[in-house]
Amino acid sequence: DAKTTQPNSMESNEEEPVHLPCNHSTISGTDYIHWYRQLPSQGPEYVIHGLTSNVNNRMASLAIAEDRKSSTLILHRATLRDAAVYYCILKHAGGTSYGKLTFGQGTILTVHP
Partner 1 sequence: GAVVSQHPSRVICKSGTSVKIECRSLDFQATTMFWYRQFPKQSLMLMATSNEGSKATYEQGVEKDKFLINHASLTLSTLTVTSAHPEDSSFYICSARDGPTGTIYFGEGSWLTVV
Binding stretches for partner 1 (CB under 8 A): 34, 36, 38, 41-46, 87, 93, 97-106
- Within a 10 A sphere around the Cβ of 45, how many other Cβ atoms? 12
Question: How many C-beta atoms surround the C-beta of residue 106 within 10 A?
Answer: 24
Nearer to partner 1 (CB atom), residue 36 or residue 64: 36
Q: Within the chain, how many helices (H) and strands (E) appear?
A: 0, 9
The smaller minimum CB distance to partner 1, of residues 8 and 67, is found at 8
| Rounded least distance, CB 55 to partner 1, Å | 13
In the complex, the smallest distance separating the C-beta of residue 15 from partner 1, rounded to whole angstroms, is 27
Q: Which is nearer to partner 1, 29 or 99 (CB)?
A: 99
Q: Is 83 left (phi over 0), alpha (psi -120 to 50) or beta?
A: beta
